[in-house]
């Protein structure tokens, strides 16, 4: 009899604990998990969104637009905290924080994402996109959209492509007008093996490095140069530590608006639709601002004293030829289906 009473008491205790511990429909995730790190005392859900670029960059202006839309559409049920300039860490650190559920949003270039999903290195193929218009069409296409789905296997949700833009070379040693001018230059690249090997094929001496360390490395001469779109070069004040800029336009970098899958799964269906739609809408705003910035800031760089060198079509073709073996070398790492699919999409977009 005593054992029976003990069993009954324990069962009653277990029932009471479960009833008190369960969240409401809002705070419970899709699979019944309760929210933990991303909730404020008032019960609102909190999105901690961090980027590597500074608050002047269109990437941050786009993030503020995302915040505006989400807080309005959810009547404040979701709050967005925005952080810039690597305040929450570098791209790899912030992406890992999303996987752990200790941060909810970051927006890196596709290059560092390749360390999590190798297929994203397809966008690091030099000279892949001939124009922003072709890039827009390809990124809206099935192959690029399918790559976003692959992020979910890594506890990440890719909500939208934003734009970093065409990358151009700067350095503090010499003007770069020909492929020979790359010889021996210590160039910082993003942490991506294809980028690294492509700059070796051009004759440079590349070093992979997180964006958060770049300005100091240029200032101290640890590296001679780097490559980024004009908006980044100007707004991050690289002209203070770089003398020469060339329109190599060697890679078009997309950004990907990443969300923690743990957080996303904890949202209601309606909230999931709101954050997805907001990321796309804010992305259109960011791309518009980004294109305006990249179109105007080369002039500002020259006004700040940088010497500009135009790369001729003939010299650019030599660079294209030099990196072809690298593309073949990485095709199996990226996935032949992805490479062939994106290349086909580029040709179709060019023909439209
Ligand atoms: O916020 C994005 C930046 O951290 C980074 O991705 C920018 O293109 C970039 C680079 O060179 O690292």
CB 151 within 8 A of CB 105: no
CA of 90 to the centre of ligand 1 (A): 9
Segment 222-244 shows an average pLDDT of 98
Tell the residue nearest (CA) to atom 4 of ligand 1: 52
Look at residue 36 in the predicted model and tell me its pLDDT: 41
Look at residue 135 in the predicted model and tell me its pLDDT: 98
Is the domain 39-351 a CATH 3.40.190.170 member? yes
CA of 1 to the centre of ligand 1 (A): 69
CA of 168 to the centre of ligand 1 (A): 13
Whether residue 152 has pLDDT greater than 50? yes
Look at residue 5 in the predicted model and tell me its pLDDT: 56
Look at residue 350 in the predicted model and tell me its pLDDT: 96
Task: Using the atom order of ligand 1, give the atom closest to the CA of residue 109.
Answer: 6
Whether residue 18 has pLDDT greater than 90? no
Look at residue 79 in the predicted model and tell me its pLDDT: 98
Whether residue 37 has pLDDT greater than 60? no
What SS3 string covers 194-242?
HHHHHHHHCCCCCEECCHHHHHHHHHHCCCCEEEECHHHHHHCCHHHCC
CA of 264 to the centre of ligand 1 (A): 24
Sequence ranges of the domains in the chain: 39-351
Look at residue 31 in the predicted model and tell me its pLDDT: 36
Q: Which residues line ligand 1 (CB under 6 A)?
A: 51-53, 59, 91, 107-109, 164, 190, 211, 228, 253
Look at residue 16 in the predicted model and tell me its pLDDT: 47
Tell the residue nearest (CA) to atom 1 of ligand 1: 52
CA of 12 to the centre of ligand 1 (A): 55
Task: Using the atom order of ligand 1, give the atom closest to the CA of residue 188.
Answer: 11
Task: Give the separation between CA 290 and CA 19, rounded to whole angstroms.
Answer: 51
Residue 32 confidence class, pLDDT cut points 50, 70, 90: very low
Look at residue 42 in the predicted model and tell me its pLDDT: 75
Q: What tokens does 167 get? A: 């990358």
Task: Give the separation between CA 313 and CA 165, rounded to whole angstroms.
Answer: 20
CA of 29 to the centre of ligand 1 (A): 32
Task: Give the separation between CA 104 and CA 69, rounded to whole angstroms.
Answer: 16
Residue 11 confidence class, pLDDT cut points 50, 70, 90: low
Task: Using the atom order of ligand 1, give the atom closest to the CA of residue 106.
Answer: 1
Segment 292-296 shows an average pLDDT of 93
Segment 238-266 shows an average pLDDT of 98
SS3 41: coil
Look at residue 308 in the predicted model and tell me its pLDDT: 98
**Residues with Cβ within 8 Å of residue 29, at least 6 apart in sequence:** 35, 262, 265, 266, 267
Distance linking the first and last C-alpha atoms of the chain = 83
Chain mean pLDDT for the chain: 91
SS3 26: coil
CA of 59 to the centre of ligand 1 (A): 10
CB 30 within 8 A of CB 264: no
Q: Tell me which of 53, 55, 192, 207 to substitute to probe ligand 1's pocket, judged by most ligand atoms within 8 Å of the beta carbon.
A: 53
Q: Tell me which of 49, 50, 52 to substitute to probe ligand 1's pocket, judged by most ligand atoms within 8 Å of the beta carbon.
A: 52
């Amino acid at each position: 009899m005593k054992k029976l009473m003990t069993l009954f008491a324990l069962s009653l205790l277990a029932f009471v604990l479960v009833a008190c511990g369960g969240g409401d429909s809002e705070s419970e995730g899709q699979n019944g998990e309760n929210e933990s790190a991303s909730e404020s005392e008032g019960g609102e859900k909190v999105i901690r969104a961090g980027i590597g670029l500074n608050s002047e960059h269109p990437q941050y202006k786009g993030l503020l637009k995302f915040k505006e839309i989400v807080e309005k559409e959810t009547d404040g049920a979701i709050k967005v905290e925005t952080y810039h300039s690597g305040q929450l860490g570098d791209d790899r650190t912030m992406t890992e924080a999303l996987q752990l559920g200790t941060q909810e949003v970051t927006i890196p270039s596709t290059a560092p994402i390749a360390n999590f999903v190798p297929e994203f290195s397809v966008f690091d193929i030099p000279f892949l996109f001939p124009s922003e218009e072709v890039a827009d069409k390809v990124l809206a296409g099935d192959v690029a959209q399918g790559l976003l789905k692959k992020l979910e296997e890594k506890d990440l949700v890719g909500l939208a492509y934003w734009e970093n833009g065409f990358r151009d070379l700067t350095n503090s040693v010499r003007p770069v007008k020909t492929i020979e001018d790359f010889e021996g230059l210590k160039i910082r690249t993003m942490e991506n093996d294809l980028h690294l090997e492509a700059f070796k094929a051009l004759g440079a001496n590349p070093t992979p490095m997180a964006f958060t360390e770049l300005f100091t490395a240029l200032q101290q001469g640890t590296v001679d140069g780097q490559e980024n779109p004009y908006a980044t070069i100007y707004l991050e004040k690289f002209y203070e530590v770089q003398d020469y800029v060339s329109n190599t336009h060697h890679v078009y970098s997309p950004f990907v608006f990443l969300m923690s899958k743990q957080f996303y799964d904890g949202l209601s269906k309606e909230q999931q639709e709101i954050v997805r739609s907001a990321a796309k809408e804010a992305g259109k705003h960011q791309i518009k601002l980004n294109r305006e910035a990249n179109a105007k800031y080369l002039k500002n760089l020259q006004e700040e004293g940088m010497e500009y060198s135009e790369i001729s079509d003939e010299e650019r073709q030599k660079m294209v030829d030099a990196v072809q073996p690298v593309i073949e070398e990485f095709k199996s790492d990226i996935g032949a289906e992805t490479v062939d699919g994106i290349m086909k999409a580029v040709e179709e977009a060019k023909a439209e």
